[in-house]
Structure 1
Amino acid sequence: MAGAVAPFKPITGMLRRGLILDLSIALGLGFTFGNAFWYGYHMPRTNARDAHYKKLEEQRAARQGN
């Protein structure tokens, strides 16, 4: 058994390549979906909220005559 040759090639380097690919995909998707959330949901909601409070402040100022 000491001189037996395995019928398949050793897996050297596969873990490292797979890890780099998995990390690249995870970071890429995380960045993509993070930006999609930030600019597709968070910023429009924030701008709508700010516009609402600006309108209320303008109405309040108009009632007070400022």
Structure 2
Amino acid sequence: MILLRLIAILLVIAGGLALAFGSFSYTQEKTALKAGPLELKVQDKETVTIPPWAGGGAIALGVVLLLVGGRKR
């Protein structure tokens, strides 16, 4: 019961963050060339866009889990 509520709260928070920010970016380092002792590394900046329906769906699922988890069996 407590685990279900914790998951529900995390879903609501994650959904709210997804709606608030909409995307996040990260830097990935790749080795482009390796010839003996020489290495050429390239950094790529990637951006991941989170669709608004995913954030809204996470919030809705979290609310449903909170409501269902609060019932006594």
The reply to whether TM is greater than 0.5 is no
TM-score by length of 2: 0.30
Larger relative contact order, structure 1 or 2 (CA cutoff 8 Å, min sep 6):
2
* Structure with the largest fraction of helix: 1
Please say which structure displays the higher CA radius of gyration: 1
